[in-house]
Each structure stands twice: as structure tokens, then as C-alpha cells.
Amino acid sequence: MNLRERFHEVMNFNPDVHSIKWEFGYWGETIKNWYEQGLPERQYPVLEQRITTPTTSLYTPAWSGKDVDRLPNGIAVTGGSLYWPSQGFPLDYDVRNHFNMDFTQRIVDVNLHFCPMFDVRVLDQNQERFHYIDIDGVERIFLKDEATIPTSVQWPIKDRMSWEKLKEERMNLNNISERFPSNWPELLKEYRNRDYPLAIGGYPQGFFGTLSHLIGYENLFLWYCLEADLVHDILDTFTSIWLAVFEEVISQVEIDHWHIWEDISFGKGSMISVEMVQEFLSPYIRRIVDFLKSKGVDIILLDTDGDCNELIPVFMEAGVTGMYPFEVHCGMDVAKVRKQYPNLQMLGGISKSEIQLGKKRIDEMLESVDYVLKTGGYIPHGDHLIPPDVDFENFSYYRTKLNKLINKYGA
């Protein structure tokens, strides 16, 4: 059974198949620390310089301004559960190979935002910062020493007039073929011969996520109340584009699942009310879910950080079948969630920051993992990127023990 087949069996709660050995990912500084602490350096993560689509290449102009032979401290290195390619992040090989973990899931590289993309435009640059307009039309500032994801300062959708202009110029249903990258024939050949799970969607495609990304959080919060018709028009337009793109992709290659990126929660709960989620997200999610299920795609995974307890039943009602990464310090508990929602697929749920507390705490954390693994439908890993204060010794103990737990259930 290859990874793709096992992914489907795990997501279908088959108790005879053991779960998948993925991590969400690691900060660049974490990986660099581990190389100094004993991780064999055989295949250093490579920063991608090529820009293809917003699905895979956002922030690439900022990362490529750094020393491309070494990792920026604040970049993410994807570890399997955080699909690849995404956001210009490099893919880990050395951690995976050292701990005999599984290869990553992939995301279809296709443009789900403005087409044509915006040209990268440098507004200002010095030793401290890189100020530019990215391929999605968002104006960003990248702080070179900090080297984390750039901060957005201006957004392309400013009002109804700017949206109507963008819709006319860059949201055309008649040019769907132009949304595919120039290397699509090569990608398609690989996708058709794959042994790994292949998803559609991904960052920054979502119904809260895309709008907050292109409008700005504060503006969007106001627009929900003051410009509801405009918000619905934006959502309806994007949904129509996504349906057209998905239909074209699925006509050429089988897709295993859909990833929705929302990041709609924070430490205290949802950023917007449940009623707003039901009005502005649920109907559009359901439109795409119904289409995908008619094409045989029935795994729908939604990514949101923070405390998402109150949103789980709302998203499930809209057709979402699984969620991740279940951040523990925000109050998420995968054992409790499993008892409450026995049919919800889950990924993550292990406190990334508490790994550094040592063997006793790691053993305690993995007790609930053991329980949920028995029930199926669960891929356990850290609840976000492993931070740099987790040393390689503690991570090694955690990952080795987690792998043994995974091997304990199924074959």
C-alpha cells in the first residue's frame, strides 16, 4: 500500500491501517539548530526562486532576497502535513529521512486568485527591509533580520470600485486555461503517476482566508456589517472561478482532497460570530463540496489555528470532513473533540511548545494521542511549526515514541 492509498484508508477510519508519519513543519531556525545539535545534514532545504502561481509562490520575492543557500530563521520548512509547495517554503528531507517518516502531500499548482497575476514591484529596499508589491497585488514589508512572513500594509480590494475593476480585468471565467502554470504538462505527468496524496486549494484559498488576505482583517470585519452585498459578490465571484478551475483540473487528473485555508480562529475563539460564518462561509463551502463530491472527492480538510471548538459543528454542517492543526495552548484537545465528533478527521493536536519540557511531559501528551489513534481518522503531529526552543534531543524522543505509537495500530 503506497502513501496515497494509506492516506485514504486512514481518513476513512480503517483500523487495520496505521496512520501517517508527518509533521506540520518546522521554523527555519529550528532546522538550523538541529543540524548543530546532531541532525545529519544530507539534503539541506532548498529555497525556490521560481514564481509560478499564488498557490505556491506568495512571498517568494521576499525569501529570494535573502542568502538563498541558508534558511531564513522565520521561514517555514514543510513537514508533510503542511502541504508542499506553498508560500515559497522549502520541503524538509533530513528530518523525514532520519526518523523514517512519510513523504509530503502535494498541492495542485494552479492560480486561484487574480489572473493575470500582478507583476512584482519593488517600492523601497535597504539593509533593514524590503518593501514591495507581491504577485497577489498586496503591498508588503519584509524585515530582513527578522525574516518572517512579510507584513501586509495595503490591499488590492479597497472598495467597490477597486473590486469592480479587479473583477473585470483579472476574474474572467473565459480564460481559465491561463490560470495553469507554464510547466503544467510536466506537473500533470507527475501528478498522474504519483504515490502521494494530491490536494486542490490550499493557502491562500478560503472564504474568510482569501478575503482577509486581499481586503485586510479590520476592513473585512467592517464590511461584514456595512458592505454585506459587496462581500457576497466577492465570495460568489471567487467561488465561481474556483469551481471552474477545479472542474478543469479534475478533468485531467484525480484529486484526493480539498484543503480550505481559513485561519479564522484565535486564542479565545472565532474572530467572527457563528452567525457570520453561517452567512458568509457555509453556503459557498457547500457549493464546492457538493461539486467535489459529485466528482468522487469526499475528503474536505479545513485549516484554522486557535480555539475552533464552536466552529467545528458549523463547518461539518457545511460539508467539511476534517480539520487541523488543533492548537493545544488555545484550548484544543483532540481526545475531547474525538468523543464529541467521532466522524471528524483530525491532523495535529500535539503541543509543539511542550515537547521541550522533556520525556515525562511528552509521555503524558502522547497518552491522548494513543487513545485517538485507536479510533482512526487521525494523523498526529505538532499543532503547528516546531519552534526553535525545542532541541533535537527532546524532539528525537518525542518523534521516536510517536512513530512507535503509530506502528502499534494497524499495518
C-alpha cell at 163: 473590486
pTM of the model: 0.97
The band of 208, judged by pLDDT with boundaries at 50, 70 and 90, is very high
72 and 128 belong to one structural domain:
no
- 124 with 101, same domain: the answer is no
Q: How far is CA 340 from the centre of its chain?
A: 25
pLDDT at 65 over 80: no
pLDDT the model gives residue 70: 85
Question: 365 with 380, same domain?
Answer: yes
Q: How many domains does the chain have?
A: 3
315 pLDDT higher than 90: yes
pLDDT at 67 > cutoff 90: no
The domain containing residue 201 runs over which residues? 160-180+197-325
Same domain, 141 and 164: no
Helices (H), 72-203: 94-98, 160-170, 184-192
For every residue of 263-327, DSSP letters joined together read: --EETTEESS-HHHHHHHTHHHHHHHHHHHHHTT---EEEEE-S--GGGHHHHHHHT--EEEE--
* 334 is a domain residue: no
| Mean pLDDT value of segment 44-69 | 88
pLDDT greater than 90 at residue 64: no
In tens, the pLDDT along 356-405 reads: 999 999 999 999 999 999 999 999 999 999 999 999 999 999 999 999 99
**Is the same domain home to 98 and 129?**
no
Closest CA to 57 of 165, 170, 136: 136
Q: Looking at residues 223-238, what average pLDDT do you find?
A: 98
pLDDT at 198 over 70: yes
Q: Note whether 264 and 361 are same-domain residues.
A: no
Tell me if 190 is assigned to some domain. no
Structure confidence at residue 66 as a pLDDT band (50, 70, 90): low
Mean pLDDT of 249-260: 98
Amino acid at 348: G
Any domain includes 253: yes
Percentage of the chain beyond pLDDT 70 is 99
Does one domain contain both 254 and 297? yes
Same domain, yes or no, for 171 and 300? yes
In CATH, what number is assigned to the domain containing residue 242?
Answer: 3.20.20.210
> What's the average model confidence in pLDDT over 12-38?
97
pLDDT reading at 68 higher than 90: no
- Mean pLDDT over all residues of the chain? 97
* 330, three cell numbers: 488555545
Same domain flag for 218 and 283: yes
The CA distance from 25 to 116, in Å, is: 31
In a shared domain, residues 167 and 223 = yes
pLDDT range class, residue 275, cuts 50, 70, 90: very high
Together in a domain, 270 and 355: no
* pLDDT over 70 at 352, yes or no: yes
- Give the model's pLDDT for residue 146: 87
Residues 6+ apart with CB under 8 A from 141: 129, 130, 131, 150, 151, 153
